[in-house]
Structure 1
Amino acid sequence: MSRRIAALFAAVVLLVLATTLVNRVLPGWAYPITGVVTTAGLIGLAYWSGLRSAAIGLDRAHLRRAGLFGLMGLGVIALGFGIALAVPALRTFFHDGRVHDLAVGPLLWVMLIRIPFGTVLLEEVAFRGVLPALLGGGDRWRWGPVLGASALFGLWHVLPSLALTSNAAVGAVFGGASLALVSVVAMLAAAVAGVLLLWWRHTGKGVLAPALVHLATNSGGVLVAWYVLSSA
């Protein structure tokens, strides 16, 4: 138990260091590298604490099931994006100034490298795999670990939430609200999303299931936003 607590503390410190480095210190090209290195460190901590692959959602025995549920979730996200594109009033939600001026090369970098390795890989292994298991959940659904890991996932978005004011939809919803309020709402939304993604991880019996949903949401969202802004 003492080793599990030490591993949990080390994992949280590692994540705090990682988010500080990528949001405040390192250049953009280092983002996916930091994600891969941090992910490896978290998996190492999990195994050192005595956890095994099934507990952190990396059991190869359930890989096919996790992939199937992940593809199902990906399809639902794609359908949602398609509906949003078909309804002009909903296109406003994709007016994200961060992707407005992206050329094709940088767009592909964001969609295929930055998001998959810097965001999805790290966040799914960390918040749907390692942290819930270190908190006592693992391959079992227990509300304490689920809420604890999801709360940490919300806090993980403190620094990224500071860039949300460049999103036109966010501005339309919150108007002249302070950045602090927008940030708090973003963290709460991330925590709720964390619970839903953990449910999908347990349903699919592996982190691959929520990872594909996460990838579809983030990379797909960037692609749709780029298309909407480029064709405006």
Structure 2
Amino acid sequence: MLVLAAVLVPALGAWNNLVVHRLPGRPASYVVANVAATAVLLAAARASGLSWGELGLDRRRLAAGARWGGSCAAVVAAGYGTALAVPALRPLLGDARVAGLDGGELAAQALVRIPLGTVLWEEVAFRGVLLATLGRLLPRRGATAASAALFGIWHVRPTLAALSANDLAEGPLARTGAVLLACLGTAAAGVLFAELRLRSGSLLAPALLHLATNSLGVLAGAAASR
């Protein structure tokens, strides 16, 4: 298990920041690469002795995962709906990366790229394999904290891309501060996702919350810009 952790931690730290954005044929190749990486990671986890239950993939826990995740997703949906309904809050949802997308492109983002290329891969990697691996080596709080910290680091490059697309945080000092805050925020989200996974016993719980946050966020951002 120590060997798996020693390979997994640096691999995840590098994947989103140094590897996947260099793939030719993006964004389609992004989805294919991440789905393939998900399969490889699950195979490695099973070969290392992790059970389906440890990975959050025990079918007997699906109902609990649906209850926990569905409740959280409903809260997120209500939040986006409220922000869209209040004129003073609508600008907070704006995102130049989705403002010009047509209906088909938005559907591809919300129904394919995010569910398969982001949510499936990140939940299996961080709340599935990484959390289970660290859980064999560390106390529960330590495993949660370590997986959440790496999840924050995972978002360095995406944050820089978002800042650039929206012309925010000009200057190195402002960008550094914005990236640090974003990484701390995503690390905090990683703690929440990990707790959902552990309390429900199912990877479905954080996956539903993650999916609602990202996919509904894209749709809300597009609606706010129109």
Same fold per superposition (TM over 0.5): yes
1:7 to 1, 4, 8: 4
SS, match of residue 51 in structure 1: coil
Alpha-carbon offset, residue 21 of structure 1: 2.9
Cα gap change, 1:122/1:56 in structure 2, threshold over 3 Å: closer, same or farther? same
Tell me what 1:97 maps to.
96
Please give the root-mean-square deviation of Cα atoms over the aligned residues, in Å: 2.1
Alpha-carbon offset, residue 211 of structure 1: 0.3
Q: CA offsets, 1:134-153, max 9 Å, x none? A: 11259x98100000000110
SS, match of residue 88 in structure 2: helix
| Runs (5+) with no aligned partner, structure 2 | none
Q: CA offsets, 1:157-198, max 9 Å, x none? A: 111111121575x94xx6765222211111111101100111
1:179 to 163, 175, 179: 175
Greater relative CO (CA pairs within 8 A, separation 6+): 2
Q: CA offsets, 1:69-110, max 9 Å, x none? A: 111111111111111112111111111010111011111111
Cα gap change, 1:67/1:24 in structure 2, threshold over 3 Å: closer, same or farther? same
For 2:50 and 2:64, locate their aligned partners in 1 and report how far apart those are by CA, in whole Å: 21
Tell me what 1:38 maps to.
37
SS, match of residue 99 in structure 1: helix
Letter in 2 for 1:60: R
Tell me what 2:66 maps to.
67
SS, match of residue 102 in structure 1: coil
For 2:113 and 2:47, locate their aligned partners in 1 and report how far apart those are by CA, in whole Å: 28
Structure-1-length-normalised TM-score: 0.89
For 1:128 and 1:94, locate their aligned partners in 2 and report how far apart those are by CA, in whole Å: 27
Q: Is the 8 A contact 2:196 2:206 kept in 1?
A: yes
SS, match of residue 88 in structure 1: coil
1:84 matches 2:80: no
Structure-2-length-normalised TM-score: 0.91
SS, match of residue 225 in structure 2: helix
For 1:46 and 1:224, locate their aligned partners in 2 and report how far apart those are by CA, in whole Å: 36
Cα gap change, 1:61/1:155 in structure 2, threshold over 3 Å: closer, same or farther? same
For 1:25 and 1:159, locate their aligned partners in 2 and report how far apart those are by CA, in whole Å: 15
SS, match of residue 58 in structure 1: coil
Q: Mapping of 1:69-148 within 5 angstroms?
A: 69-136=68-135, 142-148=140-146
Letter in 2 for 1:198: A
SS, match of residue 178 in structure 1: helix
Letter in 1 for 2:199: T
SS, match of residue 135 in structure 2: coil
For 1:150 and 1:17, locate their aligned partners in 2 and report how far apart those are by CA, in whole Å: 15
Letter in 1 for 2:119: V
Number of matched pairs: 223
Letter in 1 for 2:201: K
Alpha-carbon offset, residue 67 of structure 1: 1.4
Q: Is the 8 A contact 1:18 1:34 kept in 2?
A: no
For 1:97 and 1:166, locate their aligned partners in 2 and report how far apart those are by CA, in whole Å: 10
Letter in 2 for 1:36: V
Tell me what 1:24 maps to.
22
For 2:218 and 2:58, locate their aligned partners in 1 and report how far apart those are by CA, in whole Å: 30
